A and B are shown apart, each in its own frame.
Chain A
Amino acid sequence: MEEINEAELQSESLERLLHLVEMVNNILKDEELLKAISKLVVSEETFLIIDRLPQLIKLIEQLTRQENLEKIELMLSLLQSLDKQMLEKLSNAFKAIKAEEKVKPMSISKMITTLSEPEVSKGLNVMLNLLKALGS
Chain B
Amino acid sequence: MINMAEKKKFLIVGGGAGGAILANSLVKDFDVTVINDSPYHYYWPQLLQIAFRNDYSNLYRSLSSLLVKGVNLVIDRVKKVDLQDRIVTLSNNKTMNYDYVAIAPGVTIEHKGIDGNEKLVEQYGDFHSTPQNASKVFDVVSNMKKGTFVIAVGDPYHRCPPSPYEGILLADEVFRLRGVRNDINMILAVPYPRAYPAETFNEVLEPILKERGINVMTFFTADKIDTENKKITSLEGEELSYDAAIVVPVHKGPKIEIKPDDAINQDGFINADKFTNQILKYDDAFAIGDASTSANAKTGVTAHLQAKVVSKRVLGLDARNTGRTNCPTELGFEKGTFVISDYNHPAAKVPANTINFIMKRLFADAYWDIIRHPEFWDPIFDVYFENTQPEVLWKLFR
Contact = CB atoms under 8 A, between A and B. Distances in A.
A19 B365 contact: no
Contacts of B58: 26
Given A16-B373, A39-B334, A23 B358 contact: no
Given A19-B373, A26-B58, A29-B57, A36 B361 contact: yes
A35 B334 contact: yes
A22 B362 CA distance: 13
B362 A36 contact: no
A19 B354 contact: no
A131 interface: no
B127 interface: no
Contacts of A12: 69
A32 B362 CA distance: 11
B365 A33 contact: yes
B2 interface: no
Contacts of A27: 362, 365-366
A32 B53 CA distance: 11
Interface in B344-371: 354-355, 357-358, 361-362, 365-366, 368-369
Contacts of B369: 19-20, 22-23
A19 B372 contact: yes
| Interface size range on B against A | 10 to 19
A30 interface: yes
A37 interface: yes
Contacts of A49: none
Interface string B21-58: 00000000000000000000000000000000100011
A30 B334 contact: no
A39 B334 CA distance: 9
A130 to B, nearest CB: 30
A29 B57 CA distance: 9
Given A26-B57, A40-B354, A33 B361 contact: yes
A30 B365 contact: yes
A32 B361 contact: yes
A22 B368 contact: yes
Contacts of B362: 27, 33
Nearest to B330: A32
B358 A40 contact: yes
Interface in A33-69: 33, 35-37, 39-40
A41 to B, nearest CB: 10
Contacts of A40: 354-355, 358
Interface of A: 12, 16, 19-20, 22-23, 26-27, 29-30, 32-33, 35-37, 39-40
28 contacts: A16-B373, A19-B369, A19-B372, A22-B368, A22-B369, A23-B365, A23-B366, A23-B368, A26-B57, A26-B58, A26-B366, A27-B362, A27-B365, A27-B366, A29-B57, A30-B361, A32-B361, A33-B362, A35-B334, A36-B354, A36-B357, A36-B361, A37-B358, A39-B334, A39-B354, A40-B354, A40-B355, A40-B358
Given A32-B53, A36-B361, 18 more contacts: A19-B372, A19-B373, A20-B369, A23-B369, A26-B57, A26-B58, A26-B365, A29-B57, A30-B365, A33-B361, A35-B334, A36-B354, A36-B357, A36-B358, A39-B334, A40-B354, A40-B355, A40-B358
